[in-house]
Structure 1
Amino acid sequence: MWEEALRSAPPHAIALSLQSLRVADQREPANSVVWCPASQLVSCPRPFTRLLGCTSRSWPRSDHDDPLIPHHLLERRKLHPVSTAERDRLHFEIIRAQTSEQLVLSRAQRNARGSQLSPSTLWPGDTVVHKRDRVPEHAFSEADRLLARALDAGQLAHVRQAQLCWRNWQRRADLTAHDGLSDANHPAIEAALVRVQSTTSLQRLLRDPLGFVWRYALGWRSARQEPEPLELDLTSFGELVHELISGAISALEPTPGFARASANEIEAAIEGASAAVLTSWPLQRSVPPPILWRHTVKEAARRTAKGLASDDLVRSDTRSWTEVPFGQIDLISEQVPWNATSAVPIEPTGLIFGGRMDRLDIRATGDAARITDYKSIKPPPKAQRITLGQGRELQRVLYAIAVRALLPEVGTVVARLVYLTDDPATFELKGDELDDAITHAIDYLSAATTILRSGRLAPRWEKDAFYDDMRLALPADRESYLRRKASEFRAANQQLNKLWSAAT
């Protein structure tokens, strides 16, 4: 198999060639189970046969124009004296007559979109269709028995709870325990709030208080499947770009220093970081096939170079750090400008948080600092007006709070977003604008903690795919469910509705 795959493609594309490889199994078809069209089965009938796809749309098939010689150029019957449907019927009769032991017919009742399919005209006319919710003569399993005996099922606690949940979702318009209502100051919620928060958890707290409880109070996690990818998803690609930025700046600090490095030195540092990632990532996680993986790293390096080259000129005595930790209790030691184990309080919310900043620049005099949060995507429309972004762009504001708390001697703080696209775009918050953003962020975080402690939790009305990774916890018909209880849900989330509906 390896030799055959190498004949069809170079060694670097071995992963792709193996996927499409077809190798003979050296088995005699007459002594083996075969999978073939009905037209081929006619020439070699079997004692046991199963025919699949016996629906009106699949078999017998209808005639279609020849793509090379349409009917208006040459009559169809001159090319094929017998119609396709007649040939299918003849094949079916031969297979049925020659199958000596057992012939099984199979068909789908619905198509991929859920529409009902009718049986083929070849299907026996005396067929009895058994519905799935019928009462069976003999129970096949415990679930089958409970389905047939509603009184038995109604005595089980989990069945009664499921029925109560359905009634609360479908028949009641008020807020119930199955929507998110809980006891005020619940111990599990208090435990989730007093832990050291991350920027991700604080974002979820602002964007989806009920989702915060699911994730951090109840410990729910959405299932993540990681098949062999042909390309990295947006999150993984962003992590790749961040790692290249961190590796390049770390290689230049403290000597000669990123602010003093030449273009050639920055390019060499990016190449070194790319070479390290090229070999380390495949050992730790799923990456595309080798050729595509090299192209992905090259594209990430290109965006990294453009992003670093787009920086404004800074003073040569400026020191730069990347992936700067704070609030990391288990961290032993790192070269950072503060105590990396110190968590940052957000007063008066009672929350404390930690994390890692993408990049931090501090002047040698210690009077000014600049925070950079990198994004590997295109900037959204009107990005220059974004401050909190309805809670999505919270990192740079939180990082500004952290810098002011951990470096009280710094007088000027600039927090910026850098989008690493073909034309890198930078958006800054500083001065009064940054102060207002910090004030609003603290107010909204206080409102979110108040909602959690009150116990009146509810799903968000607004659609948000990014925070919808656990939608299985909500009814399948989510839209009608949210519409039915819209007034109650909006009232429960009233203190955050202004944030969610804000344009920036």
Structure 2
Amino acid sequence: MHSANSLRKLLRDPLGFVWRYGLGLQAADSSQETLTLDDRAFGNLMHEVLELAVIALEAGDGAASSEAARRAALEGAVRAVADAWERGRAIPPAVVWRRVLGDVSVASWSALTHPDDAYEGQSSWVEVPFGGRGPKRAGGAVPWDPDLPVEIPGTGFRISGYIDRLDLSGDRASARVRDYKTGKPRGSDDVLAGGRELQRCIYGYAARVLLGGDVAIDASLHYPRERTCIALERPDAALADLARHLAAAGRSLGAGNALPGPDTEAGWNDLAFALPANAGEVYCPRKRASATAALGDAALVWEAP
């Protein structure tokens, strides 16, 4: 069973894929003391706030909620999530924490008020499980059977995960799939982006499988800080390209090619401790050409738009 993250690692860091998912290597938890939140933690915080806010709105008028109702839902969500984090996690000093919560509120408000046209009879869900995952909250409503399998055609890879947000029309003929991002927006021409961007394709495909082949899917990356949505154009072609690259990566790994890839030498690689010292400057560049040649077709995804 795979997620978008594990498949990205397979495509862009076969060596790290084996270390993480084959040998169980992982970095030590350094979150016991923190002066700020990294991008991943900030994203998790924003996702939790949006989840509670949307749940509160769906209990009322949903997509037709007034501005006052949206603000009230957001303020309540921020208070609840902040309280949970303060009781159960390491958080930054008070002055930094207040600034972080303010930034999260601004980004979340942008997401809640993005000018999408509401579907007729629209219902919305957040953190929507699929592929065998269970709801994150006890008794949480879901628009499909989350235990149904979802397999990328022609690859043998089953996928599972949580869709950040799903808007569904009352007649279940149209669906909007959103993946929230807190980083720098990708280019509008990016599709797989060298194997770095898989969520739109995977989540849109999962929604189509579970809702039915006739549903019209609008899958996009949503950057609340920039109030920008980048839609996936030609999703069927994107899925076909992804399936081809995953099949090549699977064959290559099965042949024993657990070799470094572009993400191996990335500065944020949390498994860099298992590489030779200064690997990004010496070891990885020295191995790059040989690793690329040995991987063959499995390395073509690195050049995919």
TM-score by length of 2: 0.92
Match of 1:459 in 2: 260
Per the TM alignment, residue 448 of structure 1 is displaced from its structure 2 partner at its CA by: 1.0
Deviations 1:79-114 (A, max 9, x none): xxxxxxxxxxxxxxxxxxxxxxxxxxxxxxxxxxxx
Per the TM alignment, residue 304 of structure 1 is displaced from its structure 2 partner at its CA by: 0.8
Give the AA of the match of 1:209: P
Residue 250 (structure 1) aligned with residue 51 (structure 2): no
Counterpart mapping for 1:235-384 below 5 A: 235-257=40-62, 259-328=63-132, 334-380=140-186, 383-384=187-188
Question: Aligned match of 1:394 in 163, 175, 198?
Answer: 198
State the identity %.
Answer: 37
Residue 471 (structure 1) aligned with residue 250 (structure 2): no
Per the TM alignment, residue 453 of structure 1 is displaced from its structure 2 partner at its CA by: 0.7
Per the TM alignment, residue 241 of structure 1 is displaced from its structure 2 partner at its CA by: 1.0
Which range moved further: 204-213 or 488-497?
A: 488-497
Instruction: Specify the SS of the correspondent of 1:373.
Output: strand
Q: Are the equivalent residues in 1 in contact too, given 2:245–2:300 (CA < 8 A)?
A: no
Deviations 1:1-41 (A, max 9, x none): xxxxxxxxxxxxxxxxxxxxxxxxxxxxxxxxxxxxxxxxx
Question: Aligned match of 1:493 in 291, 295, 300?
Answer: 295
Counterpart mapping for 1:195-214 below 5 A: 196-214=1-19
Distance (whole Å) between structure 1 residues aligned to residue 24 and residue 194 of structure 2: 25
Instruction: Specify the SS of the correspondent of 1:346.
Output: coil
Give the AA of the match of 1:303: A
Counterpart mapping for 1:51-200 below 5 A: 196-200=1-5
Q: Are the equivalent residues in 2 in contact too, given 1:362–1:370 (CA < 8 A)?
A: yes
Match of 1:226 in 2: 31
- Count of residue pairs brought into register by the alignment: 302
Per the TM alignment, residue 300 of structure 1 is displaced from its structure 2 partner at its CA by: 0.4
Question: Aligned match of 1:481 in 268, 283, 287?
Answer: 283
RMSD over aligned CA atoms reads 2.0
Give the AA of the match of 1:226: S
Distance (whole Å) between structure 2 residues aligned to residue 413 and residue 403 of structure 1: 8
Distance (whole Å) between structure 2 residues aligned to residue 272 and residue 445 of structure 1: 42
Residue 438 (structure 1) aligned with residue 219 (structure 2): no
Q: Are the equivalent residues in 2 in contact too, given 1:228–1:286 (CA < 8 A)?
A: yes
Instruction: Specify the SS of the correspondent of 1:456.
Output: coil
Deviations 1:463-501 (A, max 9, x none): 642662212322225343344444421112222332213
Distance (whole Å) between structure 2 residues aligned to residue 255 and residue 310 of structure 1: 19
> Which stretches in structure 1 are left out of the alignment for 5+ residues?
1-195
Distance (whole Å) between structure 2 residues aligned to residue 360 and residue 367 of structure 1: 13
Instruction: Specify the SS of the correspondent of 2:151.
Output: strand
Deviations 1:396-445 (A, max 9, x none): 11001111111115421110111122x31111114xx2111111111111
Q: Are the equivalent residues in 2 in contact too, given 1:378–1:420 (CA < 8 A)?
A: no
Q: Are the equivalent residues in 2 in contact too, given 1:377–1:420 (CA < 8 A)?
A: no
> For the structure 1 residues 463 and 409, does the alpha-carbon distance in structure 2 shift closer, same or farther, using more than 3 Å as the test?
closer
Q: Which has the higher contact order (CA 8 A, sep 6+)?
A: 2
Match of 1:178 in 2: none
Match of 2:227 in 1: 424
Instruction: Specify the SS of the correspondent of 1:406.
Output: helix
Q: Are the equivalent residues in 2 in contact too, given 1:254–1:319 (CA < 8 A)?
A: no
Q: Are the equivalent residues in 1 in contact too, given 2:179–2:220 (CA < 8 A)?
A: yes
Distance (whole Å) between structure 2 residues aligned to residue 246 and residue 436 of structure 1: 31
> For the structure 1 residues 369 and 226, does the alpha-carbon distance in structure 2 shift closer, same or farther, using more than 3 Å as the test?
same
Deviations 1:298-319 (A, max 9, x none): 2101111122212322134111
Q: Are the equivalent residues in 1 in contact too, given 2:133–2:161 (CA < 8 A)?
A: no
Deviations 1:317-373 (A, max 9, x none): 111100001123566853101111223111211111111000001111111111000
Which range moved further: 199-208 or 223-232?
A: 223-232
> For the structure 1 residues 459 and 231, does the alpha-carbon distance in structure 2 shift closer, same or farther, using more than 3 Å as the test?
same
Match of 2:210 in 1: 406
Larger of the two Rg values belongs to structure: 1
Distance (whole Å) between structure 2 residues aligned to residue 469 and residue 233 of structure 1: 13
Counterpart mapping for 1:11-50 below 5 A: none
Per the TM alignment, residue 294 of structure 1 is displaced from its structure 2 partner at its CA by: 2.4
Distance (whole Å) between structure 2 residues aligned to residue 305 and residue 252 of structure 1: 13
Q: Are the equivalent residues in 1 in contact too, given 2:221–2:229 (CA < 8 A)?
A: yes
Distance (whole Å) between structure 2 residues aligned to residue 434 and residue 243 of structure 1: 28
Residue 450 (structure 1) aligned with residue 230 (structure 2): no
Deviations 1:271-310 (A, max 9, x none): 1101101211111211112332222112101111122212
> Which stretches in structure 2 are left out of the alignment for 5+ residues?
none
Instruction: Specify the SS of the correspondent of 1:494.
Output: helix
